[in-house]
Amino acid sequence: MGGLIVQKYLERYDAPAGVLMTSIPPQGNLGNALRWIRQSPSDFAKMTITGKALPYINPPQLARERFFSPHTPEADVVGTPRDCKRTVRGSASTVYCCACPDPSV
């Protein structure tokens, strides 16, 4: 959610620069959420309620299904669960329900 926070900040305040790491696309995250709901509704519900996504992207094959194309090198996929931090409680619902950043700003 760090990229979203930076984007929303830059909509209101001037800054010389901003770095968007793991940013949500301008069209939002709803498409990804709906795909996850269709593929694994109970996992999605547990993740949204608890705010803990890591159990649902580990082992690496789950990370590949959720975030990567079949062509992504295995080394990149394997590192994803290890590199993820615990999600802040409530952040998933915030991401799905909040106003998307305004790319024209």
Give the tens place of pLDDT for each residue, 47-92.
888 878 778 788 888 888 877 888 989 988 887 766 666 544 445 5
Peptide bond before 73: cis, by omega within 30 degrees of 0?
no
Among residues of the chain, what percentage have pLDDT more than 70? 69
Spatial CA neighbour of 25 closest among 7, 13, 46, 52:
7
**pLDDT, position 89:** 45
Q: Which one has a higher pLDDT value, 79 or 38?
A: 38
Handedness of CA 51, 56, 58, 61 (dihedral sign): negative
Report the predicted TM-score, pTM, of the whole model to 2 decimal places: 0.49
Contact, 29 vs 95, CB < 8 A? yes
